[in-house]
Amino acid sequence: MEKHFGAWEMQPWDAIPRAGLDAWAEDPWDFCPPGGESVRQLQGRVADFLRQYRHEPSMVLVTHGGVMKVLSGLAQADPLAVWQARRFDYGALVSLNLAPSLLDH
């Protein structure tokens, strides 16, 4: 499941108060839209999901771009700024190798 944007979900950008967007830009890791989740919470949720299947030899996931960013960041142990900037083409096939040790924390 993609990042939950709470009250911002399905809203055009110009309908979101500028102060909220500025607060998000100032703290992209921990800012939570009203009723939504932060990027840190999204990463934790994705890592929790992966921990459940850590001993599977392989998996196929069909997911949204935000989740793909988290997965690629976990796979490559990249800092937030690097993996948040990644772009994935719509319908792209992406292969990742996740070491089980990356999910230990």
Is residue 2 in some structural domain?
A: no
Give how many domains the chain has, as a whole number.
Answer: 1
User: What's the rounded Cα separation, in Å, for the pair 74 and 8?
Assistant: 26
The pLDDT, as a whole number, for residue 102 is: 61
- 94 touches 88 (CB < 8 A): yes
Is residue 6 in some structural domain?
A: no
Is residue 5 in some structural domain?
A: no
Is residue 74 in some structural domain?
A: yes
- Tokens found for residue 9: 């979900």
Is residue 99 in some structural domain?
A: yes
Is residue 28 in some structural domain?
A: yes
The pLDDT, as a whole number, for residue 104 is: 64
C-alpha angle with apex 77: 48 to 58, nearest 5 degrees?
A: 55
Rounded to two decimals, the pTM is 0.82
Is residue 93 in some structural domain?
A: yes
> Residue 17: exposed, middle, or buried by beta-carbon count in 10 A (0-12, 13-18, 19+)?
exposed
* Domain that residue 43 falls in: 14-103
User: Dihedral of CA 70/85/61/42: which sign?
Assistant: positive
Question: Would you write out the chain's pLDDT as a tens digit for each of its 105 residues?
Answer: 889 999 999 999 999 999 999 999 999 999 999 999 999 999 999 989 988 888 888 889 999 999 999 999 888 888 888 988 899 999 999 998 876 666 665
The pLDDT, as a whole number, for residue 1 is: 84
- 24 touches 13 (CB < 8 A): no
Is residue 1 in some structural domain?
A: no
